[in-house]
Structure 1
Amino acid sequence: MKLIFLPLLSAILLTLSSPGLDLWWLSFISFIPVLFSLKDKKYFFTKTLIFSTTYYFFNLFWINSSVSHFGGAPLIIGVLAVFGLSLYMSIYLLLFFYLNLKTDKIVISALVFVVIEILRSKIFTGFPWLNLGLIPYNSQIFTNFYSIFGEYGVSLIIILVNLSLYKVLSQKNTKQLIPTGIVILLLITSNVIKPEIKYNKSLNISIIQPAYKQEEKWLPEKREEIKNLVISMIEIASKSKSDLILLPESVFPFFIQADNLTFSYITESSLKKDLLLGNIRYDQKLNYYNSAFFFSKGSYQYYDKMHLVPFGEYFPLKIITAPISRYFFGDAKDFSRGKVHKVFNSNNINILPLICYESAFYDIIFNAFKDKSPDMLVILSNDSWFGDTLGRVQHLAIDIVRAKEFMRPVIRVTQSGISAYINEKGEIINKIGNNKQDIIEANVNIDSNKRSLFSKYGYLWLGIFALISLIFSVKRERY
């Protein structure tokens, strides 16, 4: 019971706190049971794996929907894919728990945890999914904290409180409450000093969610039906008061470059209203790209997705993964990476386009702010691959955090939900739920002069904090 119960309890608490179930406050105590179980170092790896694989397996089970339901693989293959990724993710938590046993300094342990999360977002192209810092995404208590310290800042305080409370309970030493007190003070301070928002720009938008079935998307006999549906929805949106019409990732199940009638229709429509849509693109060398097309005043620009999804849009280590690629995609070529990020301008509003998975990587947005400050972020996605699972809410949580970090409105445009207009405070102003065919209009207000501290300095504070902590730690060891 000791071997299984405490790690499982931690996994349950962390799951209940995560996006979708949203009891975020439980995250501040969720690590305590597993930390108690690890006081006895016997069966260390077993106890750690019970905690981590249980948590990740349940929360990443949407991958089975992508692999088995939409990918056509047997159920066992989908389950094994989820289990394999859960084991991979568990390696990082194993490393944290192992290093945590090597030090009594909870601040150092908390910093190690954050560094490990950052490594997970970089290694093998990165998978910054289910980070601790995403958990309180819908709590307004953390809104200003995100705009100063970012997602990993929230990860730091969650794990720090867990470690602090564990030390108090296990050592009966109330001095270990000091880090928790500092966290509370920081949260209070960040909510007292609120930036004043003065809107100086606005843009009327129409969000189109066509909500056709993913299973039918690439069937040749469904091509015209889907095409007519999308065009009919553009026709309706064209009659609205909006300045910009938004459509999701790969909205047409064909190359619009090769379909003269569709391409001409969209080009002519852009003489009245700007359009931003996702579609697959090819170049003269027949390289394929997952792209965002921006049509305005009869001409167009495009942005090619830079951060591709491994095993979904390309296969790494082809020598090993070629058989898997052939099983799922036949002779289809991998997508090519875009090289340069772009900012589109619609009615004097700078729009940063992101395609699906890219919104999980804060640095793409941070780097865009260095060149040309975007007024709003538009995320074109096809979350149909998640099925009716927690995956859709997990992606939504990421996009809400991006809005809070950069103090910019975020517009999610998806094939079948969840599409939404999220303001600069991370509040959902309007949305379209799962599998609902709809068009929503919104007036997006923007304060283009106000920038968050995070958008200016990123994680510079983390490096400074780590250096100071290291210096103090060394001094204590000497004296």
Structure 2
Amino acid sequence: MRKLLQNNRILVFIIPVFLSLAWYVPMGFVGLWIGFALILQFEKNLSQRKFRLIRFWSGVYLILFLWNLLTTWWVKNATLEGAIAMMIANTLLMTFPFVAFYFVKKHLSYVWALWALAVFWITFEYAHLNWQLSWTWLNLGNGFAYSHWAVQWYEYTGTLGGTLWVWAVSILFWQTLQKGFFQKQILILALVVLLPVLLSLILYFSYEEQGKNVEVTVVQPNIDPYTEKFIGTEKFIPYDKQAEILLQLAREKISPQTKLLLFPETAFDEGYDEKSIFQYAPIQKIRSFLKENPQISVLGGTTSWLIYGKEKRTTTARQNEQVGFYDVFNTAMFLRNEVDSVAFYHKSKLVPLVESMPYAEIIEKILGNLVIELGGTSGGLGFQKEAEVFFDNSFAYAPIICYESIFGEYVANYVRKGANILCIITNDGWWGDTPGYRQHWQMARLRAIEMRRAVARSANTGISGFFNQRGDVIEQTPFWVRDVRRQTLQANTKNTLYVLWGDWLGKIASWISLAFLVWAILLKFWSKKRNSLQNLV
């Protein structure tokens, strides 16, 4: 075993396997504990070698790249070039905490440096959640999605609490390997492993669903996005026919008690001018359906646009000779029989380089009108800056579109605005029959726990279904099957600590990271000054 631990060539290929387990199987989070402990062993093995920083950085980069590859390879089904660029860039960003660790290790004690590494990583994840190049699928706290029973305390900490737990156990486990399995060391490690689990189990078994009952129906039309869904595809289904499929499925399951009918992302993708939405045949079909079922509200996805004319109101606006400037949106729309209008929410958390050009406003300031003159747009899809909640007479629904569902603090914004049911609409068919749609489904559990809100999820295809406020699956559809499901959920109105405070751990970690770096820099300059004085003497 010792020879194995000292062989970095073997560790480089073993560690990514351990790290990947959490995104595939229950209890896989144990692999995160082992994997990061082995990265610390990898660093120790290089401590007496030449070019330590280069060797360490390149080795860690390879480990993290293989982890990205093993866990998110399925993105290539949607975009091969995007998947490659995403993995290369995301891996590079993941190395930053290790570079900071290497710097402070030279000036602080090794124990302090280890805990600084944990804080640096939490800061990295927090920053990654809050900038326009965000790809947070592999945030360590997400690794507990398959084991939600172990992290019921996410209602206090969010997923960054899971990240802290991973690092605490990994550091203590590695120290135990180095110092030997002495009673005190084992006791400390056992407490850090078991106490969070015990707290979680207490919360899990003592929690009771809260709120009024609301009956929700979710539809999974299973229209192939590559061959049937969009105009120009091989077996394109006309948009009015797609609307008929959705409404026919709904009629099979709704009841007089149904309050909400949930359709998936881009359920209606014809491209609607929001100012004249009622002229389109699919929308007219929905309005007729609502007159037949006046107790129901409909929430579903579409592609829509707003025309601005001669004024370029946003950095994402495109230009057309006939209409002037306009924006295209990935939209959730909300229709009620009682209201002669449609409410719109424009997806805010856009997929970088696929739906949006990160920092388009900076690009536009640099290039000015050059992009438009070349026939392009600097910003991709339009978006709105804040979450928005849809209200009926009794309940409030959060329209969460696809990628947005992996951002805990962003989803908390819906709840702060009154949402008591989380409605996730998505189209996971882009990834095919891969781990991607299963991972995305599992992550919805974490939002349910953080907010203590029931989740209704409608996928064009993927998995549609329901989670209760503990993150348990109530019901789900199979993959790649045309289906419809109905459940009664509880609409909670009480806010968790996480809803109130958001990613407070990330904010604290950011300040502590700054303190560690300043401390190390001051020690570095003090050491130089002291050496200079000694040379003078």
Q: Same fold (TM over 0.5)?
A: yes
Runs of at least 5 residues in structure 1 that lack an aligned partner in the other structure: 69-76
Which residue is 2:287 aligned to?
Answer: 267
In structure 2, list runs of 5 or more residues that go unmatched: 309-325, 524-537
Letter aligned with residue 313 of structure 1: E
The match for 1:213 among 215, 218, 224 is 224
Structure 2 CA distance for partners of 1:233 and 1:190, relative to 1, 3 Å: closer
- Alpha-carbon distance in structure 2 between the residues aligned to 1:62 and 1:375: 33
Aligned residue among 424, 427, 430 for 1:379: 424
- Structure 1 residue 444, shift from structure 2 partner: 1.3
Which residue in the other structure is 1:171 paired with? 179
The Cα shift of 1:374 comes to 1.4
CA contact 1:3–1:37 (8 Å) conserved in 2:
yes
Residue 245 (structure 1) shift? 1.2
Q: What TM-score, normalized to structure 1? A: 0.85
Structure 1 segment 369-448 matched on structure 2, within 5 A = 369-370=415-416, 372-448=417-493
Maintained 8 Å contact 1:147/1:404: yes
1:200, distance to aligned residue in structure 2 (A): 3.2
**Cross-structure match for 2:332:** 292
- The aligned residue for residue 199 of structure 1 is 210
Q: Does 1:104 align with 2:111?
A: yes
**Helix, strand or coil at the partner of 2:487:** strand
Counting only pairs closer than 5 Å after superposition, residues 187-266 of structure 1 correspond to structure 2 as 187-192=197-202, 196-197=207-208, 199-216=210-227, 217-220=229-232, 222-225=235-238, 227-238=240-251, 240-241=254-255, 242-257=258-273, 260-266=280-286
The aligned counterpart of 2:345 is 303
| Alpha-carbon spacing, 1:335–1:193, altered in 2? closer, same or farther (3 Å) | closer
Separation (CA, whole Å) in 1 of partners of 2:143 and 2:262:
28
**Deviation for aligned residue 1:331:** 5.9
The letter for the 2-side match of 1:459 is D
Identity of aligned residues (%): 23
When residues 89 and 61 of structure 1 are mapped into structure 2, their CA distance, relative to the original with a 3 A threshold, is farther
| Counterpart secondary structure, 2:144 | coil
The 8 Å contact of residues 65 and 387 in structure 1, kept in 2 or not, is answered as: yes
Of 56, 73, 88 in structure 1, the residue corresponding to residue 92 of structure 2 is 88
> Is it true that 1:359 corresponds to 2:405 in the alignment?
yes
Give secondary structure in 2 for the equivalent of 1:214: coil
- Residue 71 of structure 1 aligns with which residue? none
Separation in 1 of the partners of 2:355 and 2:116?
Answer: 38
The separation in 1 between residues aligned to 2:100 and 2:139, in whole angstroms, is 14
2:60 paired with 1:48: yes
The CA distance in 1 between the partners of 2:327 and 2:138, in whole Å, is 33
Three-state SS of the structure 1 residue aligned to 2:210 is: coil
CA pair 416-84 structure 1, distance change in 2 beyond 3 A: same
TM-score (norm 2): 0.77
How far does residue 18 in structure 1 lie from its aligned partner after superposition? 2.2
The whole-number CA distance in structure 1 between the counterparts of 2:401 and 2:148 is 26
The answer to which of 281-290 and 330-339 deviates more is 330-339
Structure 1 stretch displaced more, 452-461 or 355-364: 452-461
Distance 1:89 1:434, change over 3 A: farther
Of 379, 382, 395, which aligns to 1:349?
395
Count of residue correspondences: 457
* Cα distance change on mapping 1:100 and 1:156 into 2, 3 Å: farther
| Residue correspondence of structure 1 range 130-141 to structure 2 within 5 A | 130-141=138-149
Partner secondary structure for residue 104 of structure 1:
helix
SS in 1 for 2:465: strand
Give the match's secondary structure for 2:158.
helix
Conserved 8 A contact 1:294-1:301? yes
| More moved, 208-217 vs 450-459 | 450-459
* Offset from partner CA, 1:260-301 (integer Å, 9 cap, x none): 222212123223221111001111322111110000015321
Choose which of 59, 69, 94 in structure 1 pairs with 2:71: 59
Q: Is the 8 A contact 2:330 2:381 kept in 1?
A: yes
**1:288 aligned counterpart, secondary structure:** strand
* 2:8 aligned with 1:33: no
CA RMSD of aligned residues (A): 3.2
- Partners of 1:140 and 1:377 in 2: CA distance: 17
Q: 1:24 aligns with which of 23, 29, 33?
A: 29
